[in-house]
């Protein structure tokens, strides 16, 4: 196999991708998944081409590692590849930090068309502009650029169709615009429309599709109850939160990272007082939403949590945690061991002790006159014991959370 080093965003090698020489299966083989390497959240070439992608505000996505190398050699410098897998939500989130739009440069065969069709809901749900440029039959990106050159490639990329238009064109080609064909097309468009998280985005698609299909926009929208929220509603207990939620401290973010990656620990964290520690932050909102999901479904995977969150600060937070869970120094803290959970629990205990000490001091200062001598002594002893316990825990974890 020819091996390709895979870099994270900081230029550190996190794994390798191997492409078989000659025939054989699997064609591509990557390093095993690990705490450092997650192929679904990595893109080949992003570290090397990241600056050029930012400059052009556009990324070109190809399917193969050699396609990427060939395009770069011929001067196409804003190209990435998804490590031999279908494009994932995590990879798209990664690209959003570099580009405003992504052009899928795929083979023009059936497999290429299907790959492009599968990616459409991802782009719509992430509200990222996506286009498709299909290569002529018999060509892949490597053969096309070697035979036709960079100018021809750039011309092809300029003709790329926006993803929704591409999907409709493919459906029309497959089913035709007969009565039965339109009925089938409308049915197949419903998942696409439901993937749109933006009302404006959905409205524009409904208007455009209905004009081409010759149906009333309200009929197309009503077919699959598109007017309703496209994400499952998460019902939480009626609570009032401040309009401006407080920013998260480093320990709060670390706790949330652990909670999102390992949601089964939530009951233990709740018992230790995590909600009080997160009060008034987006973390408290996220905590309640995760609670609601667990009450209805039991175990919740991190990706499932992300998919079911409505647009908002908590969804941004979860996507950021999942995206950076392999490279972020804070996220590396939370890799699910008992020792790490113990450190969080100690931090929560320290916070509880600090609150208790503050309450006791306030009571002794403000109510001393109304308290009897014995009561004052008991409160003073309780405060001394709390301070002693806090001091012990701070020494134990002085270099970390406390």
Q: With bands split at pLDDT 50, 70 and 90, how would you rate the model's confidence at 337? A: low
Which residues on adjacent β-strands are paired with residue 106?
134
Contact residues for 44 (Cβ-Cβ < 8 A; gap 6+) = 4, 6, 17, 65, 68, 80, 81, 82, 83
pLDDT of residue 334: 41
| CA neighbor of 309 nearest in space, from 197, 227, 201 | 197
**Total Cβ atoms within 10 A of residue 207:** 12
Instruction: Give the integer Cα–Cα distance in Å for 83 and 194.
Output: 28
Contact residues for 176 (Cβ-Cβ < 8 A; gap 6+) = none
Residue pLDDT, tens place only, 204-244:
788 778 888 888 777 777 655 433 333 334 444 444 444 44
* Contact call for residues 313 and 285 (beta carbons, < 8 A): yes
Instruction: Give the integer Cα–Cα distance in Å for 212 and 168.
Output: 9
Contact residues for 247 (Cβ-Cβ < 8 A; gap 6+) = 281
* Residue with more model confidence, 238 or 76: 76
How large a percentage of the chain has pLDDT more than 70? 85
Residue pLDDT, tens place only, 127-176:
888 999 999 988 999 999 999 999 999 999 999 999 888 888 888 988 89
Instruction: Report the SS3 class of residue 337.
Output: coil
pLDDT of residue 80: 96
* Contact call for residues 58 and 78 (beta carbons, < 8 A): yes
């Amino acid at each position: 196999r020819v091996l390709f080093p895979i870099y994270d965003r900081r230029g550190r090698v996190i794994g390798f991708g191997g492409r078989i020489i000659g025939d054989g299966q699997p064609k591509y083989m990557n390093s095993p998944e690990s705490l450092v390497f997650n192929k679904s959240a990595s893109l080949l070439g992003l570290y090397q081409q990241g600056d050029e992608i930012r400059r052009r505000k556009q990324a070109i996505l190809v399917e193969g590692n050699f396609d990427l190398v060939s395009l770069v050699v011929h001067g196409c410098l804003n190209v990435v590849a998804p490590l031999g897998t279908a494009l994932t939500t995590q990879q798209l989130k990664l690209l959003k930090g570099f580009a405003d739009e992504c052009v899928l440069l795929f083979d023009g065969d059936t497999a290429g068309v299907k790959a492009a069709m599968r990616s459409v809901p991802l782009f719509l749900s992430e509200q990222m502009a996506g286009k498709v440029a299909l290569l002529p039959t018999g060509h892949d990106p490597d053969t096309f650029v070697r035979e036709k050159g960079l100018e021809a490639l750039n011309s092809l990329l300029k003709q790329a169709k926006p993803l929704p238009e591409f999907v409709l064109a493919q459906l029309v080609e497959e089913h035709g615009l007969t009565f039965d064909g339109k009925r089938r097309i409308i049915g197949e468009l419903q998942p696409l429309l439901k993937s749109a998280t933006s009302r404006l985005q959905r409205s524009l698609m409904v208007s455009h599709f209905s004009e081409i299909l010759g149906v009333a926009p309200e009929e197309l929208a009503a077919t699959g109850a598109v007017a309703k929220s496209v994400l499952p509603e998460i019902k939480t207990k009626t609570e009032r939160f401040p309009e401006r939620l407080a920013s998260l401290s480093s320990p709060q973010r670390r706790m949330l990272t652990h909670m999102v990656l390992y949601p089964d620990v939530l009951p233990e964290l709740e018992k230790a007082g995590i909600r009080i520690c997160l009060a008034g932050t987006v973390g408290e909102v996220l905590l309640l939403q995760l609670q609601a999901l667990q009450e209805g479904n039991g175990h919740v995977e991190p990706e499932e949590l992300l998919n079911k969150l409505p647009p908002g600060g908590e969804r941004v937070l979860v996507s950021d945690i999942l995206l950076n869970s392999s490279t972020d120094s804070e996220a590396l803290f939370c890799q699910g061991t008992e020792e790490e959970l113990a450190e969080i629990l100690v931090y929560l205990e320290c916070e509880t002790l600090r609150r208790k000490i503050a309450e006791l001091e306030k009571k002794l200062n403000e109510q001393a006159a109304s308290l009897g001598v014995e009561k004052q002594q008991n409160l003073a002893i309780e405060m001394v014991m709390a301070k002693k316990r806090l001091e012990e825990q701070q020494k134990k974890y002085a270099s970390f959370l406390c």
